[in-house]
Amino acid sequence: MGFGGKTMSEIALLVQDLTFSYGQKKALDTVGFQILAGECTLLLGENGAGKSTLFSLITHLYDTHKGHIELCGFDIQTQSQKALARLGVVFQQTTLDMDLTVLQNLNYHAALHGMSGKLAKQRIQEELERLQMYERRSEKVRQLNGGHKRRVEIVRALLHKPTLLLLDEPTVGLDIPSRQGIVDYVHQLVIDENIAVLWASHLMDEVYPDDHLIVLHRGQIKANERVQDVLQQTQTDNVAAAFMSLTKSN
């Protein structure tokens, strides 16, 4: 059923019994969860927990070994084109062309998604304005600071109105104001656009009280509930303490 009694049609991402290994090293061990429309899910885990492997499987950079992944009801293996069309991604390492302007980067992405010039112009302006970046549209990406580059990448990921937005540690290396601005923006985006978000992080203060929290530790899920439920189950009063409680025994 999912949180709040949501139906299958509202499930943006479904992961079932997902197992993946690098040779003899198991990176993910029977991982399963679902993410609903209008839900911000924080995926917490230390380096090496399996977060990047999970994202590589969801984005179909890796082929699934064992298990099942669906995006908006489309199987990532057998219906990959339809599935990935519903997905927006911001990777940990920037993938913008530094020698192109903000507009050139965004227009190129819009063309890849088959958007008309008129629609692309409209959507680019809307998203840049929401992130206070429209006045920077003619600047080359290399002239932007880290926080502004991240904003452009978020705009790019949202141009085709995805159902699910994946964020792979998007605030790493940013100063505190830039980081907080992106955290606040994404959480508000979930409310305003009813989008589903899966945000991989190792920073506890990026988790909001109403978030869905998944704790991944050494390839296994240790928690998969609302934040308040996780705190109650671990008998702790903050996310950092809950995380320590869930991961200390292994």
The pLDDT of residue 188 is 94
Region 3-86+162-247: CATH code: 3.40.50.300
The domain segmentation of the chain, as residue ranges, is 3-86+162-247, 94-161
Q: Half-sphere exposure (CA, 13 Å, Cβ side) for 24?
A: 0
Q: Half-sphere exposure (CA, 13 Å, Cβ side) for 120?
A: 16
The pLDDT of residue 94 is 85
- Residues 45-96 pLDDT 10s: 988 899 999 999 999 988 877 999 999 999 999 999 999 999 999 988 888 9
pTM of this prediction exceeds 0.95: no
User: Is the pLDDT reported for residue 6 higher than 50?
Assistant: no
* HEC per residue, the chain: CCHHHCCHHHEEEEEEEEEEEECCEEEEEEEEEEEECCCEEEEECCCCCCHHHHHHHHCCCCCCCEEEEEECCEECCCCHHHHHCCEEEECCCCCCCCCCEHHHHHHHHHHHCCCCHHHHHHHHHHHHHHCCCHHHCCCEHHHCCHHHHHHHHHHHHHCCCCCEEEEECCCCCCCHHHHHHHHHHHHHHHHHHCCEEEEEECCHHHCCCCCEEEEEECCEEEEEEEHHHHHHHHCCCCHHHHHHHHHCCC
How would residue 155 be classed by pLDDT, with cut points 50, 70 and 90?
A: very high
Strands 87-90 and 164-168, by their bridges, are parallel
The pLDDT of residue 78 is 92
- Residues 124-152 pLDDT 10s: 999 999 999 999 999 999 999 999 999 99
The pLDDT of residue 84 is 93
User: Is the pLDDT reported for residue 4 higher than 50?
Assistant: no
Closest listed residue to residue 60, CA positions, set 23, 87, 39: 87
User: Is the pLDDT reported for residue 2 higher than 80?
Assistant: no
The pLDDT of residue 249 is 60
User: Is the pLDDT reported for residue 14 higher than 60?
Assistant: yes
Greater pLDDT, 48 or 243: 243
How would residue 239 be classed by pLDDT, with cut points 50, 70 and 90?
A: very high
In the chain, pLDDT over 70 holds for what percent of residues?
96
- Residues 159-215 pLDDT 10s: 999 999 999 999 888 889 889 999 999 999 999 999 999 999 988 989 999 999 999
The pLDDT of residue 173 is 85
Q: Which amino acid is at 128?
A: L
User: Is the pLDDT reported for residue 107 higher than 90?
Assistant: yes
